[in-house]
Amino acid sequence: MEIITSTFFSSQFVIAAIFTIFSLLLAVRTARSTKSTKQSDGATSATSATARKKSCNCTCSCNGPAAASAAEREMLEVGRHAATAATAVVAERGSGASMMEQLVPEITTHALSYLDYPSLCRLSMTNSLMRKAANDDNAWKALYHKDFTLEQDSVIPVNGWKAYYAATRAVVNVNAEFFNIIRERSLPAMSRFWLNADYVKCIHASGELFSGYNSVIQSWQIAFNWEQGVDFQVQDVRARVLTDIAWVTMKTYIDIDTGPFNMTNVFEFHNGQWYMVHHHSSVMLVDGEVEQQVVHG
């Protein structure tokens, strides 16, 4: 027993214990000192942040609810700037449109006069502003005089110049179809082309008069059987259109050596279609003389 006690309380053991206790005390003191330093630094940082906030009235993005409110205000500000920019673009576009609307009508009419019939129709389908400009009555009147004749100044169309242009265009196209039928020598097409009425009349270049639908169609049958297809060159076409009747005068040529013909075609409007009711062809005077020709037309 004595041996164990003396070994347990030897000098080396006592020195080790004292050194261990001293180390523990030093560690505890160091830990307390570090904690105190951190708390002091945190308080100092908070005080500095508060001072900066008061001086510049701003916060960083990590400051919780205050930062979220600042971000929302910034987004609202960006939205207002975007709305202002969009309004400016719309206003700029609107000002461009209004500038065109404020053009002198004569200038607009002159600009549109360079367009043809299909282009003017397509322009009217682009937008409301172009439709208003393209439907202007003066523009269609100018186009009428450019495409047809200059002797219609006294005409005052009841439904406006656009409707009158369309009706005149339809009559001119029907008149051109008449010469296509002659070139093709198609009796069925000629039969459908004439109005089936007893008052229709046809005077060929030979001077023969045929009255009534059946007589007129028979005259064309004789002409198609007797002659080869005739390719008329049509010039100086002048049309006049009323509500349900129209007439077209023109000069026609067969070839250079043959003198021209004066022709007059009269049409009536029935059931949405133009029908021929009168045709008159006569040889024109050339140097005061009439050349003898046997061409039917």
Nearest to 283 by CA among 263, 257, 266: 263
Helix, strand, coil % in the chain, rounded to nearest 5? 55, 15, 25
**196 and 133 co-located in one domain:** no
Compute the distance between CA of residue 147 and CA of residue 142 in angstroms, rounded to an integer: 9
Residue 235: inside a domain: yes
Structure tokens at 59: 């916060």
**236 and 268 co-located in one domain:** yes
Q: Which domain holds residue 184?
A: 162-283
**247 and 140 co-located in one domain:** no
CB-hemisphere CA count at 13 Å for 79? 6
Neighbours of 202 (CB within 10 A): 24
Compute the distance between CA of residue 216 and CA of residue 278 in angstroms, rounded to an integer: 10
Count of structural domains within the chain: 2
- Last residue of some domain: 118, 147, 176? 147
pLDDT at 54 (0 to 100): 45
- Last residue of some domain: 147, 171, 197? 147
Return the axis-axis angle of helices 105-112 and 137-147, rounded to nearest 10°: 40
Residue 73: inside a domain: no
Residue 123: inside a domain: yes
pLDDT at 273 (0 to 100): 95
Compute the distance between CA of residue 142 and CA of residue 138 in angstroms, rounded to an integer: 6
The CATH number given to whatever domain includes residue 204 is 3.10.450.50
- Last residue of some domain: 96, 122, 147? 147
Note the pTM of the prediction, 2 decimals. Answer: 0.60
Residue 242: inside a domain: yes
Residue 211: inside a domain: yes
At residue 229, the 3 state secondary structure works out as coil
> What's the start-to-end Cα distance of the chain, in Å?
159
**253 and 177 co-located in one domain:** yes
**125 and 218 co-located in one domain:** no
CA dihedral 52, 53, 56, 59 (to 10 degrees): 110
What's the length of the chain? Answer: 297
pLDDT at 134 (0 to 100): 81
**181 and 277 co-located in one domain:** yes
**207 and 269 co-located in one domain:** yes
pLDDT (tens place) for every residue of the chain, 297 residues total: 444 444 444 555 656 656 577 666 666 666 666 655 555 555 455 455 444 544 444 444 445 445 446 666 665 665 565 556 545 544 544 444 455 566 666 777 777 777 887 888 888 888 787 788 788 888 888 888 888 876 666 788 888 998 999 999 999 999 999 999 998 899 999 999 999 999 999 999 888 999 999 999 999 999 888 766 677 788 889 999 998 999 999 999 876 566 688 999 999 999 999 999 999 999 877 665 555 454 556
Residue 14: inside a domain: no
Give 297's contacts (C-beta < 8 A, 6+ positions apart): 182, 204, 205, 230, 232, 252, 261, 263, 281
Q: Name the burial class of residue 204, with classes exposed (0-12), middle (13-18) and buried (19+) by CB atoms within 10 angstroms of its CB.
A: buried
Q: Name the burial class of residue 149, with classes exposed (0-12), middle (13-18) and buried (19+) by CB atoms within 10 angstroms of its CB.
A: middle
Compute the distance between CA of residue 295 and CA of residue 252 in angstroms, rounded to an integer: 12
Residue 212: inside a domain: yes
DSSP state letters, 46-72: HHHHHHHHHHH----TTSTHHHHHHHH
pLDDT at 101 (0 to 100): 61
**122 and 209 co-located in one domain:** no
**189 and 276 co-located in one domain:** yes
**130 and 224 co-located in one domain:** no
Nearest to 169 by CA among 190, 135, 143: 143
**241 and 137 co-located in one domain:** no
Amino acid at 285: L
Compute the distance between CA of residue 267 and CA of residue 167 in angstroms, rounded to an integer: 12
Residue 249: inside a domain: yes
**276 and 166 co-located in one domain:** yes
Nearest to 110 by CA among 132, 136, 134, 142: 142
List C-alpha distances in Å: 98 to 4, 91, 102. Answer: 116, 10, 6
